[in-house]
A and B are shown apart, each in its own frame.
Chain A
């Protein structure tokens, strides 16, 4: 069954000086339920714009976008969002952050509490429910953000550079956690990242996007996310198949960057 369907999507921003920027041009793809798609590309390639359109925060200027054959017209709880950082509510403790979604929908009580505790244990924060979020490290805060998103049981999880602000070691652990959650919940995930390695490792589908106009430059179907569930991530990332793909994508992105520089020089 087709889950997310994006058809000839275009997004043009009008600039205050009268000009305009084509952030997305003619983007089309279908994403089946249960897949994990990573979006990679240089700044200005429209990957965050695409994510925001799927989330419903932005309306596209052309084309259509459907989730389970229903058009996306605004934000909704069928699509959960995890941001880079700073999107937790620091005036609430960890448990109240996670229960935010259910509480906004009028679901309070022992059942919600039990579910929240369950989720906290899933992300490895079972003992941290009563802690203030600002007392936690960056990695733990992102665990809270994941749990908060899962509390609403969304169909689609959108992640905007969720690990971008973390140190390398924490980042690796969190990558494995994301794969684990993906496997356990069978959710569809769209993840934006700047890191080629992360995009390769987490995406069982990967789009390399290009700027001016923002578009999908190349698509990959990848085995690493599934393999990462059972195999050692370090070894996997050092395997010839992985490094070969990494070099290929890196040189692709290098070419794009050079084209951009040439453009600006002219």
Chain B
């Protein structure tokens, strides 16, 4: 429906193509980008650059954030130490770290990846902590009565019990990372979908801007879909406790 209106607006000349490119122009631009590339960089390379950053930053964020969150959920001392830090930095948009990160790491891959790490880290800490503290006391009691040690309960009860929350955290985190990444690439990157949009803008290639926006949206949806499928596959018991 939206597409038809968009198509009509181009065909009837309602919208000024300089300000709002039509679908045919956009598809042509997209095709050119996919085959020849824009400024010698192809669509695939831009997508790959963005995905690589997100996977590294998000991946490290999960790997570090989950243990910290679990530890905070299990240990009151650790919670007292980390909680103020987490609460202070959690509301800060990850992009706000960029000036500092560029100062520390220079321009290149590192600041973007570190920023994504921050974005994912705080979300994962909170998700893992909620997963631990949300365990039903009767499950822990049942395990104790069945002769399980503290260590065994941690591994066999608390950890699997926290998995659904952790997965929800991962889904949120990957969405936030994706949005943040594209914004970060607008500022300081040569490749990536955000950088591509920004460069296209300076050359008045607005059809590439529109095409880039659509691709960003589509990849965002695909990432979420992958996470949802993984959730169904790995935690089929979610919400049925």
Say yes or no: A152 contacts B141, CB within 8 Å. Answer: no
Contact with A along B8-52 (1 / 0, CB 8 A): 000000000000000000000000000000000000000000000
Contact of B237 among A105, A134, A151, A152 (CB under 8 A): A134
Q: Is B91 an interface residue (CB 8 A)?
A: no
Say yes or no: B237 contacts A132, CB within 8 Å. Answer: yes
Say yes or no: B141 contacts A83, CB within 8 Å. Answer: yes
Write the nearest CB–CB distance from B149 to chain A, whole angstroms: 7
Q: Is A15 an interface residue (CB 8 A)?
A: no
Say yes or no: A76 contacts B147, CB within 8 Å. Answer: yes
Say yes or no: A75 contacts B138, CB within 8 Å. Answer: no
**List of A residues within 8 angstroms of B152 by Cβ:** 104
Residue of A nearest to B160 (CB): A91
Contact with A along B146-167 (1 / 0, CB 8 A): 1111001000110011010000
Say yes or no: B157 contacts A86, CB within 8 Å. Answer: no
Q: A75-B141, A81-B141, A134-B237 are in contact. Are A87 and B136 (CB under 8 A)?
A: yes
Residue of A nearest to B163 (CB): A91
Q: Is A182 an interface residue (CB 8 A)?
A: no
Say yes or no: A75 contacts B160, CB within 8 Å. Answer: no
Q: Is B145 an interface residue (CB 8 A)?
A: yes
Q: How large is the interface on B (under 10, 10 to 19, 20 to 34, 35 or more residues)?
A: 20 to 34
Q: Is B139 an interface residue (CB 8 A)?
A: yes
Write the nearest CB–CB distance from A79 to chain B, whole angstroms: 6
Say yes or no: A152 contacts B236, CB within 8 Å. Answer: no
Say yes or no: B237 contacts A90, CB within 8 Å. Answer: yes
Q: A75-B145, A101-B147, A152-B146 are in contact. Are A83 and B138 (CB under 8 A)?
A: yes
State which residues 58-114 of A face B: CB under 8 Å.
74-77, 79-81, 83-84, 86-87, 89-91, 100-101, 104-105
**List of A residues within 8 angstroms of B161 by Cβ:** 89, 91
Q: Is B143 an interface residue (CB 8 A)?
A: yes
**List of A residues within 8 angstroms of B63 by Cβ:** none
Q: A57-B141, A81-B141, A104-B152 are in contact. Are A86 and B241 (CB under 8 A)?
A: yes
Residue of B nearest to A91 (CB): B160
Listed in ascending order, the chain B residues whose CB lies under 8 Å from chain A are 136, 138-139, 141-149, 152, 156-157, 160-161, 163, 235-237, 240-241
Q: Is A55 an interface residue (CB 8 A)?
A: yes
Q: Is A148 an interface residue (CB 8 A)?
A: yes
Contact of A75 among B144, B157, B235 (CB under 8 A): B144
**List of B residues within 8 angstroms of A56 by Cβ:** 144
Contact of A77 among B136, B139, B145, B160 (CB under 8 A): B145
**List of B residues within 8 angstroms of A86 by Cβ:** 136, 138-139, 241
**List of A residues within 8 angstroms of B147 by Cβ:** 76-77, 101, 104-105, 152
> Nearest 5 pairs between A and B by C-beta?
A101-B146, A77-B147, A134-B240, A75-B144, A87-B138
Write the nearest CB–CB distance from B212 to chain A, whole angstroms: 41
Tell me, in angstroms, the Cα distance from A158 to B163 when the chains sit together: 29
Say yes or no: A134 contacts B146, CB within 8 Å. Answer: no
